[in-house]
Homo-oligomer: A and B are copies of this chain.
């Protein structure tokens, strides 16, 4: 059973019974893996006997650890590493008393825990990357498919003009592509081995300290940070902030889908099926639970990041409280990121587009969304202030009279002497939807090219 990653509501909100990468079992296995790699690297550098490394490896592989006991004893000691190392040492001692003194040699609890978290995080990042790639692929496909589907652009929750759905989807794709690059780039330096010894000086390893850290890093597929980072968290926390940024971007997608799928807007629908979004009371409802998850993720992560940042000024060679809280908080950021990415993947994989509603919504504005180019044209004869005022008034009339703006402006040209110089064709051109969305089309092309070229 995967458990331990959150309460019932937490797990349901993230659609995850638990996150395998940070489950108790994964974390314990990662810590034991570090002990083994450390022993092997030390044996390689003749810091400990090779046979001791064999014994440690053997015992670590078969060590049975009870997570709840680890919690209980770890709470007393201040870290779960103490009882874990004690258990491993005991097991090695039972096999070969001499080898037992080489367990965890020269390392400190934080070395073990930070490195184990880096291992778990690396796995989480690999999964995140794969899912983000799939989301991006879906966004690209949507951008291509609906490249010329026109729809309202909205700013400050008001219709602003006509854009294309393809433009919107291409933006999703570009931002996700850049987000992937960010995470990947940061992971390369942030997922580092920790090896400093009791207080960072690598004191126990004589001249071999740096070589040992480098060897350990290579064995674990992590980077060598070139320093002890027990109390220096900049490059580590940076990975979480990069991930948080992507969760924020996914949250924006969630906000947009939820707004565009309101009944009164109706341009998009979440994929249905399998009881998704059914209500306990209202049989007619299909709640947008994927958007919900994306929105919740983007709301949850900022508080977590503020905790990680607040934990940065850790005291002296190892902090009291801050480091421990950082480590306990860390997995949540990735849990949310994985939840958001999975939701986005399902959402974009089955997103329904209602082109008729897109058209209807444009029509319902009765041309007022073309007020901006119209005002520019009128400014040629009226000057800008008067032109803006006139168009603004005409738009107000559209709302009350229901007469479309294009018609209203034609009437104005006939009746307003100042406008007689105006060419009706030029005015009509302002209402040309195809021209209006040409810019969007060009940008879609440019954005898709960017993605292809990995910019």
Contact = CB atoms under 8 A, between A and B. Distances in A.
A368 to B, nearest CB: 4
A438 B206 contact: yes
Interface string A65-109: 001101111111111111001100110010001101101110111
A311 to B, nearest CB: 6
Contacts of A76: 15, 274-277, 289
A328 interface: yes
A369 B365 CA distance: 27
Determine which residue in A327, A328, A371 has the highest number of CB atoms from chain B within 10 A of its CB, and name it: A328
Contacts of A182: 234, 238
Interface stretch (A36-44, A130-138, A411-419, A441-449): A441-449
A424 interface: no
A248 B234 contact: yes
Contacts of A368: 284
Interface residues of A, number: 199
Contact of A383 (B97, B179, B278, B331): B97
A361 interface: yes
Interface in A195-220: 197-207, 209-210
Contact of A101 (B113, B365, B380): B380
A126 interface: no
A313 B284 contact: no
Contacts of A174: 226-227
A295 interface: yes
16 contacts: A12-B75, A12-B328, A103-B384, A155-B285, A155-B317, A174-B227, A197-B281, A200-B440, A201-B440, A241-B245, A282-B371, A283-B388, A291-B321, A292-B321, A299-B321, A305-B306
